[in-house]
Structure 1
Amino acid sequence: MLIKIYPQNPNPREIEKVVKILRDGGIVIYPTDTVYGLGCDINNTKALERICRIKGINPRKDHLSIICHDLSHLSDYTKPLSNTIFKLIRKNLPGPFTFILPASNNVPRFFKSNKKTIGLRIPDNAIIREIVRQLGNPILSTSIKDDDDVLEYTTDPELIHEKYQDLVDAVIDGGYGGNIASTVVDCTNTAEYQIIRKGKKELEF
């Protein structure tokens, strides 16, 4: 199913359709402020397992990330952060960043790798943030990569739909996506941070 949603003014009816799919245990491909992502409700273990099979992810070894609507979810899913790290996150979100943080006990066990961390994203994209807001809890976030040797990420939602329509329950057409992923920042050391991957944007201070 290909669902067209305009980022400037997301249609509430279409948003509700996607939220229902997620609540029913479905998985969706959605736009962000960087590349297109693949996600599901973080509380649905079967949907999480489907995504891991599609992407070849080992949840015990690989870092997994979630998308939140805003920073109100931060204390729910992470351990207490230093003022320095919190200010850094607040300054740069919403935006094209993934912050790796120490996971709290509220994070579903499925997400906890051997390092007991969680990646946090709040994209600057009205579509996915409104979906997460209406769902009421975060969704899994993992990027859609391309098999092409030159292009790492597919930017055309119609081409994404052609490739994944038999693997997912819906693809959201929110316009052409980017081909540069998020900047990944490791904040598991409470005193300082480390750039793990340079992405679309530099951190602001």
Structure 2
Amino acid sequence: MLREEVAKALKVIQDGGIILYPTDTIWGIGCDATNTEAVQKIFALKQRDEAKSMIILLDADHQMERYVNEVPALAYDLIEFAENPLTLVMPGAKGISPALIAADGSIGMRVSKHPFCQQLIQRMRRPLVSTSANISGEPSPKNFGFISEDIINGVDYVVDVDQHNMAENIPSTIMRLDPSGKFEFLRR
């Protein structure tokens, strides 16, 4: 079942579509992080200001080096020892759609531990955009049951994994990290 869902989602993403999918935190809307047209579809669906950046998901921490100029050694320790999913915002974004890069040149990245995300990202060989499955300004959905019809009907594919899991999930911790190793929490 997981393999089939990964294959279906991969096809939609390769065709420039956007998907609704489970993550190791809350449900997300995603696409190929190198496809600007697909990224813009997500901004339109969420009615989100394009000045507000979205994060990317990776399947392994060593991939961070592909998408920012410099990864501080501390980043690997933070990921390894974090008790909860951790998104790191780092400067010097590269190799992704310019629409994802914040005005200060940074990008948020998280290594996802969710089996669906890991397999999809491995098959994509690219990062996966991840943004909460809600219209901008509305609360983030705690599980699939909280996602609005507008979002469900607005994506090209709804992944049939974890839809019946009613655990109330929370978004990741977000930490800004600069090359010197200085950091600050943006969301705990």
What TM-score do the two structures reach when normalised by structure 1?
Answer: 0.79
Tell me the C-alpha RMSD between the 2 structures: 2.5
Q: Is 1:186 aligned to residue 173 of structure 2?
A: no
Show the 5 A alignment for 1:65-76: 65-76=55-66
User: 2:78 corresponds to which letter in structure 1?
Assistant: L
Deviations along 1:65-116, one digit per CA (max 9) or x if unpaired, are 10111123111001222322332234339x5111101134323322222110
Give ranges in structure 1 of 5+ residues lacking alignment: 199-205
Q: 1:48: which partner in 2?
A: 39
SS at match of 1:124: coil
User: 1:139 corresponds to which letter in structure 2?
Assistant: L
Contact 1:96 1:123 in 2 (8 A): yes
The 1-side partners of 2:41 and 2:75 are apart by: 33
Q: 2:95: which partner in 1?
A: 106
The 2-side partners of 1:148 and 1:47 are apart by: 21
Show the 5 A alignment for 1:1-205: 10=2, 12-59=3-50, 61-92=51-82, 96-145=85-134, 152-157=139-144, 160=147, 162-175=149-162, 176=165, 178-188=168-178, 190-198=180-188
SS at match of 2:17: coil
The alpha carbon displacement at 1:37 in A equals: 0.5
Give ranges in structure 2 of 5+ residues lacking alignment: none
What TM-score do the two structures reach when normalised by structure 2?
Answer: 0.85
SS at match of 2:24: coil
Identity of aligned residues (%): 25
Contact 1:187 1:193 in 2 (8 A): yes
User: 1:32 corresponds to which letter in structure 2?
Assistant: T
Contact 2:35 2:97 in 1 (8 A): no
Contact 2:47 2:135 in 1 (8 A): no
Deviations along 1:126-150, one digit per CA (max 9) or x if unpaired, are 011111111110111101237998x
User: 2:46 corresponds to which letter in structure 1?
Assistant: K
Contact 1:157 1:171 in 2 (8 A): no
Q: Aligned in 2, Cα 1:83/1:103: closer, same or farther, shift over 3 Å? A: same
Contact 2:70 2:179 in 1 (8 A): no
Moved over 4 A (4+): 146-149
Tell me the matched-pair count. Answer: 185
Contact 1:28 1:170 in 2 (8 A): yes
